[in-house]
Amino acid sequence: MVITLIGYRGSGKSVVAGLLAGMLDLTWIDSDDVIEARAGRSISEIFAQDGEPEFRRIEQDVIRDLTGQDSLIIAAGGGAILDPENRQRMKDSGPVVWLQASVQQLASRIQQDKSTANRRPSLTGQSAAEEIENVLTERLPHYADVSTIRVNTDGLSPNQVATEIRCQLSAQGRCS
């Protein structure tokens, strides 16, 4: 079984994946880290040098490889759900957890993340809040389509989010 965490940039996928992996005694991986390792450069550099289509091609290969493994938690890139094949692979490999957050919360988290500017390019050239609102609106149907579990992360610590996911994954839907 593979558990895939999806959501917009800043929703907490990587931090929560690490915590959840510790709770469930599983391995976790950030798909963006795998993309950068395979390409030998940052996501921003891939976008600048080769464009978004090349990035999405590499991402599709990475998602295919990761969802084909077992006993793994994947922190998927925010746009990985744009590709129908990625969505199907995620669904077929196990539970898909959508980490939701308000536009304001996402903007605040992104602005506080020092690695964002170097690793992740702006997708629209708009202000952070405008970009989040516009891109999120476009992606919402895809997140909804693929997710089997949804957790609103606003006001919750990463540990609380991981605990909520663990509870929802349990057979009774509650913690034991």
In the chain, the amino acid numbered 173 is: G
- Over residues 19-72, the pLDDT tens digits come to 999 999 999 999 999 999 999 999 999 999 999 999 999 999 999 999 999 999
CA distance 122 to 102: 19
Q: Can you spell out the DSSP letters for the chain?
A: -EEEEE-STTS-HHHHHHHHHHHHT-EEEEHHHHHHHHHTS-HHHHHHHH-HHHHHHHHHHHHHHHHTSSSEEEE--TTGGGSHHHHHHHHHHS-EEEEE--HHHHHHHHHH-TTHHHHS--SSSS-HHHHHHHHHHHHHHHHHHH-SEEEE-TT--HHHHHHHHHHHHSTTSS--
CA distance 80 to 87: 8
pLDDT band at residue 172 under the 50/70/90 scheme:
low
The domain spans of the chain are: 2-169
CATH: 1.10.520.10, 3.40.50.300, 3.40.250.10, 3.90.1300.10. Which one for 2-169? 3.40.50.300
* CA–CA–CA angle 57, 8, 120 (5° rounding): 60
End-to-end CA distance of the chain: 21
Strand order in the sheet with 2-6: 27-30, 72-75, 2-6, 96-100, 149-152
pLDDT of residue 140: 95
- Name the least confident of 73-77, 96-100, 152-156, 168-172: 168-172
pLDDT of residue 34: 98
Q: Please say whether the beta carbons of 126 and 134 come within 8 A.
A: yes
- Name the least confident of 10-19, 42-51, 101-110, 156-165: 101-110
CA distance 170 to 176: 8
